[in-house]
Structure 1
Amino acid sequence: MSSSLDAFITRKHIAYFTMELAVRPEMHTYAGGLGILAGDTARSCADLGLPVVFVTLLSRAGYFKQVIDADGRQTEQPDWWDPERWCTPLNAMVAVDIERKPVWIRPWLYVHTCPHGHQIPILLLDTDLDQNGADDRTLTHNLYGGDEDYRLRQEIILGIGGIRILRALGFDLHTYHLNEGHAALLTLELLNRSRVAPEELIAGESPFDIAEVRASCVFTTHTPVEAGHDRFSYELFERLLPGFVDLDELKRLAGEDRLNMTRLALKLAGYVNGVARRHAETTEHMFPGYRIHAVTNGIHPGTWTHPAFAQLYTTHLPQWQHEPEILVRALQLPDDEIWRCHQSAKGDLIRQVKESAGIALDSEIPILGFARRMTGYKRPLLLFENLDRLIDVASRHPFQVVLAGKAHPQDADGKEAIRQVHALARQLRGRLNCVFLPDYDMQIAMTLVAGADVWLNTPLPPMEASGTSGMKAALNGVLNLSVLDGWWIEACVEGVTGWSIGQDGDGARQHATALYDQLDHTVLPLYSADPARWRWMMKQAIGNIAYYFNSQRMMRRYAAEAYLR
Structure 2
Amino acid sequence: MNHFKKNSVSRIIAYFSMEIAVDERIPTYSGGLGILAGDTLSAAASVGFSMVGVSLLYRKGYFFQRIDENGVQTEEPVEWIVDDFLVEQQPRVKIQLENREITLRAWLYEIEQMDHKIPVYFLDTDLPENDPYDRGLSGFLYGGDDRYRLCQEAVLGIGGVRMLRALGYKKIDRFHMNEGHSSLLTLELLREQMVEAGHDQASWEDIEAVRALCVFTTHTPVAAGHDKFPLSLVKQVLPFFPLHGELRDIFCCGDYLNMTYLALNLSHYINGVAKRHSEVSRMLFSHYEIDAITNGIHVPSWLSGPIQKLFDEHIPRWKEDIFSIRYAISIPLKEIWEAHLINKRLLLDFINRQKNVGMDIDHFTIGFARRMTAYKRPELIFTNLERLNSIAKSVGPLQLIFAGKAHPKDEEGKKIIQRIHAIRHLLGPEIKLVFIENYDLALAKRIVAGVDLWLNNPQPPFEASGTSGMKAAINGVPSLSVLDGWWIEGCIEGTTGWSFGMDLFQLKESKENALSLNRDASDLYDKLEKLIMPIFYNNPDSYASIMRSCIAINGSFFNAQRMLMQYVLKAYY
The answer to whether 1:215 aligns with 2:212 is: yes
Instruction: Give the whole-Å Cα distance in 2 for the aligned partners of 1:287 and 1:75.
Output: 37
Aligned equivalent of 1:285? 283
Q: CA deviation at 1:13?
A: 2.1
Q: CA deviation at 1:322?
A: 3.2
Q: Deviations over 1:24-50 (max 9, x none)?
A: 100000000000000101110100111
**Counterpart of 2:405 in structure 1: which amino acid?**
K
Contact 2:215 2:268 in 1 (8 A): yes
Q: Deviations over 1:498-536 (max 9, x none)?
A: 000123146111100000000000000010111111111
Instruction: Give the whole-Å Cα distance in 1 for the aligned partners of 2:152 and 2:205.
Output: 25
Instruction: Give the whole-Å Cα distance in 1 for the aligned partners of 2:191 and 2:244.
Output: 13
Instruction: Give the whole-Å Cα distance in 2 for the aligned partners of 1:125 and 1:175.
Output: 20
Instruction: Give the whole-Å Cα distance in 2 for the aligned partners of 1:251 and 1:81.
Output: 43
Q: CA deviation at 1:112?
A: 1.3
**Counterpart of 1:165 in structure 2: which amino acid?**
M
Instruction: Give the whole-Å Cα distance in 2 for the aligned partners of 1:369 and 1:164.
Output: 43
Aligned equivalent of 1:6? none
The answer to whether 1:524 aligns with 2:533 is: yes
3-state DSSP of counterpart to 1:194: helix
3-state DSSP of counterpart to 1:63: coil
Q: Deviations over 1:223-268 (max 9, x none)?
A: 0111210000111111011134344434443311211000000000
Aligned equivalent of 1:190? 189
Aligned equivalent of 1:5? none
Question: Is the deviation greater in 460-469 or in 246-255?
Answer: 246-255
Contact 1:12 1:53 in 2 (8 A): no
The answer to whether 1:458 aligns with 2:457 is: yes
Instruction: Give the whole-Å Cα distance in 2 for the aligned partners of 1:333 and 1:152.
Output: 52
Question: Is the deviation greater in 504-513 or in 145-154?
Answer: 504-513
Q: Deviations over 1:386-407 (max 9, x none)?
A: 1111111111121110000000
1:389-400 alignment runs, 5 A limit:
389-397=387-395, 398-400=397-399
Aligned equivalent of 1:42? 41
Contact 2:157 2:184 in 1 (8 A): yes
Q: CA deviation at 1:62?
A: 0.5
Contact 2:398 2:430 in 1 (8 A): no
Q: Deviations over 1:36-92 (max 9, x none)?
A: 000101110100111100000111111000110121011111012211111100111
Instruction: Give the whole-Å Cα distance in 2 for the aligned partners of 1:200 and 1:89.
Output: 36
Aligned equivalent of 2:356? 358
Contact 2:501 2:519 in 1 (8 A): yes
**Counterpart of 1:13 in structure 2: which amino acid?**
I
Instruction: Give the whole-Å Cα distance in 2 for the aligned partners of 1:250 and 1:416.
Output: 42
Instruction: Give the whole-Å Cα distance in 2 for the aligned partners of 1:382 and 1:519.
Output: 13
Instruction: Give the whole-Å Cα distance in 2 for the aligned partners of 1:143 and 1:524.
Output: 40
Q: CA deviation at 1:199?
A: 8.9
Contact 2:389 2:428 in 1 (8 A): no
Instruction: Give the whole-Å Cα distance in 1 for the aligned partners of 2:567 and 2:373.
Output: 30
Aligned equivalent of 2:76? 77
1:67-466 alignment runs, 5 A limit:
67-114=66-113, 116-171=114-169, 172-195=171-194, 206=203, 209-248=206-245, 249-397=247-395, 398-428=397-427, 430-466=429-465
Instruction: Give the whole-Å Cα distance in 2 for the aligned partners of 1:200 and 1:173.
Output: 22
3-state DSSP of counterpart to 1:319: coil
Q: Deviations over 1:351-381 (max 9, x none)?
A: 1211322222100011000001101110000
Distance change >3 Å, CA 351–CA 138, structure 1 → 2 = same
**Counterpart of 1:235 in structure 2: which amino acid?**
S
Instruction: Give the whole-Å Cα distance in 2 for the aligned partners of 1:319 and 1:486.
Output: 31
Aligned equivalent of 2:22? 23
Name the % identity. Answer: 46
Instruction: Give the whole-Å Cα distance in 1 for the aligned partners of 2:468 and 2:484.
Output: 13
3-state DSSP of counterpart to 2:318: coil
Query: How much is the aligned-residue C-alpha RMSD, in angstroms?
Result: 1.7
Task: Choose from 536, 548, 551 the match for 2:557.
Answer: 548
Instruction: Give the whole-Å Cα distance in 2 for the aligned partners of 1:135 and 1:515.
Output: 49
Q: CA deviation at 1:198?
A: 9.5
Instruction: Give the whole-Å Cα distance in 1 for the aligned partners of 2:447 and 2:184.
Output: 37
Instruction: Give the whole-Å Cα distance in 2 for the aligned partners of 1:352 and 1:418.
Output: 21
Distance change >3 Å, CA 12–CA 78, structure 1 → 2 = farther
Aligned equivalent of 2:519? 510
Question: Is the deviation greater in 188-197 or in 483-492?
Answer: 188-197
TM-score by length of 1: 0.95
What is the aligned length?
553
Aligned equivalent of 1:537? 546
Instruction: Give the whole-Å Cα distance in 2 for the aligned partners of 1:134 and 1:278.
Output: 45
3-state DSSP of counterpart to 1:26: coil
Aligned equivalent of 2:3? none
**Counterpart of 1:45 in structure 2: which amino acid?**
A
Distance change >3 Å, CA 468–CA 553, structure 1 → 2 = same
**Counterpart of 1:510 in structure 2: which amino acid?**
R
3-state DSSP of counterpart to 2:118: strand
Instruction: Give the whole-Å Cα distance in 2 for the aligned partners of 1:431 and 1:251.
Output: 60
3-state DSSP of counterpart to 2:142: coil
Distance change >3 Å, CA 12–CA 34, structure 1 → 2 = same
Aligned equivalent of 1:4? none
Instruction: Give the whole-Å Cα distance in 1 for the aligned partners of 2:435 and 2:27.
Output: 21
Instruction: Give the whole-Å Cα distance in 1 for the aligned partners of 2:475 and 2:208.
Output: 45
3-state DSSP of counterpart to 1:446: helix
Distance change >3 Å, CA 330–CA 95, structure 1 → 2 = same
Note the residue ranges of structure 2 that are not aligned, 5 or more in a row. Answer: 1-7, 511-515
Instruction: Give the whole-Å Cα distance in 2 for the aligned partners of 1:308 and 1:518.
Output: 29
Q: CA deviation at 1:10?
A: 8.5
Distance change >3 Å, CA 124–CA 429, structure 1 → 2 = farther
**Counterpart of 1:537 in structure 2: which amino acid?**
I
TM-score by length of 2: 0.94
Instruction: Give the whole-Å Cα distance in 1 for the aligned partners of 2:310 and 2:250.
Output: 56
1:486-505 alignment runs, 5 A limit:
486-504=485-503, 505=506
Aligned equivalent of 1:53? 52
Instruction: Give the whole-Å Cα distance in 2 for the aligned partners of 1:250 and 1:365.
Output: 61
**Counterpart of 1:342 in structure 2: which amino acid?**
H
Instruction: Give the whole-Å Cα distance in 2 for the aligned partners of 1:210 and 1:174.
Output: 16
Distance change >3 Å, CA 279–CA 385, structure 1 → 2 = same
Q: Deviations over 1:185-244 (max 9, x none)?
A: 00011112222899989xx98366111111000000000111210000111111011134
1:468-483 alignment runs, 5 A limit:
468-483=467-482
Instruction: Give the whole-Å Cα distance in 2 for the aligned partners of 1:539 and 1:313.
Output: 12
3-state DSSP of counterpart to 1:138: helix
Q: Deviations over 1:472-491 (max 9, x none)?
A: 00101101100000000001
Instruction: Give the whole-Å Cα distance in 2 for the aligned partners of 1:96 and 1:544.
Output: 48
Instruction: Give the whole-Å Cα distance in 2 for the aligned partners of 1:546 and 1:326.
Output: 10
Aligned equivalent of 1:62? 61
Instruction: Give the whole-Å Cα distance in 2 for the aligned partners of 1:54 and 1:220.
Output: 15
Contact 1:276 1:295 in 2 (8 A): yes
3-state DSSP of counterpart to 1:541: helix
Q: CA deviation at 1:166?
A: 0.4
**Counterpart of 1:536 in structure 2: which amino acid?**
S
**Counterpart of 1:320 in structure 2: which amino acid?**
W
**Counterpart of 1:153 in structure 2: which amino acid?**
C
Question: Is the deviation greater in 358-367 or in 248-257?
Answer: 248-257
Q: Deviations over 1:102-135 (max 9, x none)?
A: 1111000111111x21000000001111111211
